[in-house]
Structure 1
Amino acid sequence: MSEKKKKKFKFPSAFTVLFIVLVLASILTYLVPAGSYDRLEYNKEENVFIRSGVDGEEEKLPATQDVLDKLKITVPLKSFVKEDIKKPVAIPGSYHKLDQQPQGFLKVARAPIDGVADSIGIIVFVLLLGGCIGVLNKTGTFDAGIAALSKLTKGKEFLMVAILSSIVALGGTTFGMAEETIAFYPILMPIFLASGFDAMVTIAAIYMGSSIGTMFSTTNAFSVVVASNAAGISFKEGMGVRIISLVLAQAISLWYIYRYSKKVKKDPSNSIIEEDMPRIKDQYLKDYDPDNVAPFNFRRIAMLVVFMLAFPIMIYGVMNLEWWFEEMSTLFLVVGILLIILSGLEEQDAVGSFLDGAADLVSVALIIGVARGINIILDDGMISDTMLYGASNIISGINGVLFSSVQMILFSFLGIFIPSSSGLATLSMPIIAPLADTVSLGRDVVVSAYNFGQGWMAIIAPTGLILATLEMVDVSYNKWIKFIAPLMGILLVLAIVMLGIQTVI
């Protein structure tokens, strides 16, 4: 009788991981008491504050500093008037328990649908990006470009990795480049693979560049600026510590990626994703043969230039024109049309390649929607405010360096349930920042603790971008955890040390 071979355990796909988290979020709505803070929002048209409770009742209040002071919201009036703070802020001392709002089976079943509807902007952006890439692949433009770039970077491959990662980190720290980086993977993956790196290096270079930039934000309006405004201080306070932390963290990250890439180049069996690489190479370098590529002629150069120009335009729009996914999607729709015109393909072939490219990224788009569904369950369950209330009670009375370190850990925890950096800032800062006054610490320490904590957790939080990123490059979540865990440990120590320094200076 032959022995049955034991089936090797396969880690669940990104969709399964998200549905498990979705069910866990639902269970939490049964276990964690529901509760809410009242919110205060500035109405520019009427020049009044609107105080709103969870029951839907609204109260109009004069837009004066005196009203803010009475509500113990220690934020200058001008921060609201100038729209430095656009989202409703939590009112200190207004937390009250509510009837439990459990999210049962039907709510869980509907959450992914609501999540897709709520994320339609980024989903359309991803699909249009995929369409553009489909046209470029059909015409051999990417292969020709990769071959030309490989000749230029021969012997200096990691310099390319370091430069690109640092540029992304710069975008992260200055204007919060995060979701936009999804556009980079289909472009950079074949380039990095052709240069001899494995797919994990591509993920680490882009995703960690963005994560470190946002974790150690300097002028990011979506995190450190809105958090500082909500805390009632200038975002320039604590800037020196955050800049030093950013430089150190990026240097450590590049060292970590370089060390890994050298090990893999020396012996491919050292790759954490060795068994996945044939499949990934087939996906991104299916028809690529460095000795037999299409000529990098004028048509292909023009197509690549049009496509690449979209990225600085997109970044400029986000930074200076308040663009978001609707505008970015419009940009890539125009780029897609231009690529079809320049491609020289028959109309049906060109449109077909665009649709095929979009179809390749449908799974990524759906993952984004399902992840958003988790946040909807938590919001509808009314437990996020309860967690913030509990966190504020934990840190009240703690002194000195321990105060900042515990805060960072708590913000990491809150970041799982409130992945929006601006949302967490406007909710938490009016409640937690004043606690620094009671232990004679600057509020800039609280802002840094928020920044470091949420940014650190975003590296692995399934409610954030990581699962969509991994789906884009076909790498499983457990292998990302295995790769990134040591670096996360180092970054945690760095963040705690830098918070300690900021506490005592």
Structure 2
Amino acid sequence: MSSTAKSAPLPTKKKSKFPHAYVIIVCLLLFVSFLTYVIPAGEYNRVKTPEGITMVDKDSFQYVQAKPVKPWLIPNYILEGLQKQANIIFPLLLIGGALEVILATGLFHAYCNRLARACAGKEKWFIPVILTLFAVIGITQSTNKFIGFAPLGVMLAATLGYDAIVGVAIVLLGVGIGFSTGILAPTTAVAQEMAQLTAYSGMWLRVVSFVLFLILTSVYISRYAERARKDPTKSVLYGTNYENAFDLSGSDVAYSGKHPLILAIVVLSFAVLMFGCIRYGWGLVETAVCFLWMALAGGLVYGFGPSRIATEIVKGAKGMTSAALIVGLGAAVAIILKDGKVLDTVVMNLAKGLGYMPDWLKAPMLLIINVIVNGFVTSGTGQAAVVMPVLVPVADIAGITRQTTVLAYKFGDGFCNYILPHASALMGFLGATGISYDLWMKFMMKLFGLWMLLGSAILAFAHFIHYV
């Protein structure tokens, strides 16, 4: 009996049958193409303020001649999306290439092994501390600027025995919390200006929201991480090709005297990057340039010749291709809706439906409306231009304060970007770490549901206290 028990195989999970991310997005493109045939075409007039902000004239909606998008033209829209997102796609390729040069030096493996030994017995602090660090950074920054940090987060998590999902989550969701609660996000000021509010007014409730979302997310990730570490079958990666992709436990990279110099280059590069993002508003293009200088300096210091550096850059760029293409595919969704002239019709009807909601549900319903719109318009400023001029007067009639309306917009603009298959930041993170969309969703869907419940509760509270 005992020998039989000992020889019993470990339980295995069924392999996921979820479609490839490309298939999901193509299906989404076919669906929105279908919508352009069944939803009446309509438009709002758009005007520019003296400050250069494009706004919708709320009283100008009118139905226009239908302009359905033919399904066989979807490849054309995909190419247009790739062209439109070139300023994201090419930096992603270069970031992937630059990181490959640094990885080839063995820097992260050598130091991650040391970190694992140093953190033995203190793992419970790792997730809250790193998550909080990136959440604070995200208060003023958008998530896609930190795609290059994804492999580093995964490696740090792997050194402590956590799976790759944890490494992605502590970076992606950390920045996402800071950005989505909108304490000092630029899109908060844009939305408040459209609502004729003082920029960054009402900050106290956004700070409270930041703390609450941070605690909820930290507890969720920590519980998952510990459960999966103690029982690998509880990991969403168990039984998949990703299970040991970032396992550093068997990697014994010899520590070199050159590693401290390369580490100094990496730290200095990230410091320059952080300063540039915060002080000068650097975007993904400047991020890629900074990474390239880091790769060149690090490679040369380690003793790589120009040809070896070039080879590693090509190798890393190749691994990032999947994520880069998904960014372009996702952009095609918004282009189809815009060309099909149905987006404004969707927004108009959502706003009208708000009037039928019970009073206690009206503020949470604003969140749901913004989540739906964000499925079509993933740009924060673009969404503000579409929904704020329409929802502000609707909220006024419904007795919802404009500050509450802005908060609902920020939650909706932010949080669902971490489940959308065409969100550039999410797909960039997943592509950079090689994790498939379906596996991420197995981890993320319950947390997203908790986010929605918490966000709805905060908005209901805001409505109750007449938040201004």
TM-score by length of 1: 0.84
Equivalence for 2:111: 145
SS in 1 for 2:318: helix
* One-letter amino acid of the structure 2 residue matched with residue 497 of structure 1: A
Q: Which ranges of 4 or more aligned residues in structure 1 deviate by more than 4 Å?
A: none
Equivalence for 2:278: 319
* One-letter amino acid of the structure 2 residue matched with residue 206 of structure 1: V
* One-letter amino acid of the structure 1 residue matched with residue 459 of structure 2: L
Equivalence for 1:18: 25
Quick one: distance in 1 between partners of 2:188 and 2:360? 20
Counterpart check, 1:455 vs 2:414:
yes
Kindly state the Cα deviation for residue 132 of structure 1 after the two structures are TM-superposed: 1.6
Quick one: distance in 2 between partners of 1:418 and 1:411? 10
Question: Which of 201, 224, 243 is the matching residue for 1:260?
Answer: 224
Counterpart check, 1:443 vs 2:402:
yes
Distance 1:455 1:88, change over 3 A: same
- Please list, as runs of the form range in 1=range in 2, the aligned pairs for 1:51-200 lying within 5 A after superposition: 80-81=50-51, 86-172=52-138, 174-200=139-165
Kindly state the Cα deviation for residue 366 of structure 1 after the two structures are TM-superposed: 1.0
Q: Is the 8 A contact 1:238 1:502 kept in 2?
A: no
Q: Is the 8 A contact 2:134 2:171 kept in 1?
A: yes
Question: Which of 295, 301, 306 is the matching residue for 1:347?
Answer: 306
Distance 1:241 1:8, change over 3 A: closer
Equivalence for 2:9: none
Distance 1:497 1:342, change over 3 A: same
Equivalence for 1:239: 203
Counterpart check, 1:495 vs 2:447:
no
Q: Is the 8 A contact 1:127 1:358 kept in 2?
A: yes
Quick one: distance in 1 between partners of 2:15 and 2:232? 22
* One-letter amino acid of the structure 1 residue matched with residue 110 of structure 2: A
Percent sequence identity is 27
Question: Which of 477, 483, 486 is the matching residue for 2:443?
Answer: 483
Quick one: distance in 2 between partners of 1:378 and 1:346? 49
Quick one: distance in 1 between partners of 2:131 and 2:144? 15
Distance 1:263 1:326, change over 3 A: closer
- Please list, as runs of the form range in 1=range in 2, the aligned pairs for 1:258-337 lying within 5 A after superposition: 258-276=222-240, 279-282=242-245, 284-285=246-247, 289-290=250-251, 292-297=252-257, 299-337=258-296
SS in 2 for 1:275: coil
Kindly state the Cα deviation for residue 397 of structure 1 after the two structures are TM-superposed: 6.3
Q: Is the 8 A contact 1:400 1:441 kept in 2?
A: no
Quick one: distance in 1 between partners of 2:43 and 2:167? 41
In the TM superposition, what whole-angstrom CA distance separates every residue of 1:60-86 from its partner, at most 9, and x where no partner exists?
A: xxxxxxxxxxxxxxxxxxxx44xxxx4
Distance 1:313 1:384, change over 3 A: farther
* One-letter amino acid of the structure 1 residue matched with residue 230 of structure 2: K
List alignment gaps of at least 5 residues for structure 2: 1-13
SS in 1 for 2:142: coil
> How many equivalent pairs are there?
451
* One-letter amino acid of the structure 1 residue matched with residue 449 of structure 2: G
* One-letter amino acid of the structure 2 residue matched with residue 367 of structure 1: I
Counterpart check, 1:30 vs 2:33:
no
Kindly state the Cα deviation for residue 34 of structure 1 after the two structures are TM-superposed: 1.7
In the TM superposition, what whole-angstrom CA distance separates every residue of 1:2-44 from its partner, at most 9, and x where no partner exists?
A: xxxxx966211111111111111111111212221111114xx
Equivalence for 1:387: 346
Kindly state the Cα deviation for residue 233 of structure 1 after the two structures are TM-superposed: 0.4
Quick one: distance in 1 between partners of 2:70 and 2:97? 38
Equivalence for 2:3: none
* One-letter amino acid of the structure 1 residue matched with residue 166 of structure 2: V
Question: Which of 162, 182, 186 is the matching residue for 1:217?
Answer: 182
In the TM superposition, what whole-angstrom CA distance separates every residue of 1:428-456 from its partner, at most 9, and x where no partner exists?
A: 21221122322333200100111122323
Kindly state the Cα deviation for residue 198 of structure 1 after the two structures are TM-superposed: 0.9
Question: Which of 360, 363, 371 is the matching residue for 2:330?
Answer: 371
Q: Is the 8 A contact 1:280 1:473 kept in 2?
A: no
In the TM superposition, what whole-angstrom CA distance separates every residue of 1:339-383 from its partner, at most 9, and x where no partner exists?
A: 232231132222211221121111111111111122221222122
In the TM superposition, what whole-angstrom CA distance separates every residue of 1:102-144 from its partner, at most 9, and x where no partner exists?
A: 1113420112211111111111221111122111122222212
SS in 1 for 2:244: helix
Q: Is the 8 A contact 1:413 1:457 kept in 2?
A: no
Quick one: distance in 1 between partners of 2:308 and 2:400? 64
Distance 1:236 1:399, change over 3 A: farther
Quick one: distance in 1 between partners of 2:272 and 2:60? 44
Equivalence for 1:75: none
- Please list, as runs of the form range in 1=range in 2, the aligned pairs for 1:417-428 lying within 5 A after superposition: 417-428=376-387
Quick one: distance in 1 between partners of 2:431 and 2:95? 15
Equivalence for 1:431: 390
Kindly state the Cα deviation for residue 304 of structure 1 after the two structures are TM-superposed: 2.5
List alignment gaps of at least 5 residues for structure 1: 1-6, 43-79
Kindly state the Cα deviation for residue 424 of structure 1 after the two structures are TM-superposed: 0.6
SS in 2 for 1:184: helix
SS in 2 for 1:40: strand
TM-score by length of 2: 0.90
Instruction: Out of 102-111 and 16-25, give the one that drifted further.
Output: 102-111
Q: Is the 8 A contact 2:188 2:199 kept in 1?
A: yes
Kindly state the Cα deviation for residue 489 of structure 1 after the two structures are TM-superposed: 2.2
Kindly state the Cα deviation for residue 323 of structure 1 after the two structures are TM-superposed: 2.0
Quick one: distance in 1 between partners of 2:28 and 2:19? 12
SS in 1 for 2:18: coil
Quick one: distance in 1 between partners of 2:315 and 2:204? 48
In the TM superposition, what whole-angstrom CA distance separates every residue of 1:374-417 from its partner, at most 9, and x where no partner exists?
A: 22212221221111111221124656432211111111111100
Counterpart check, 1:338 vs 2:297:
yes
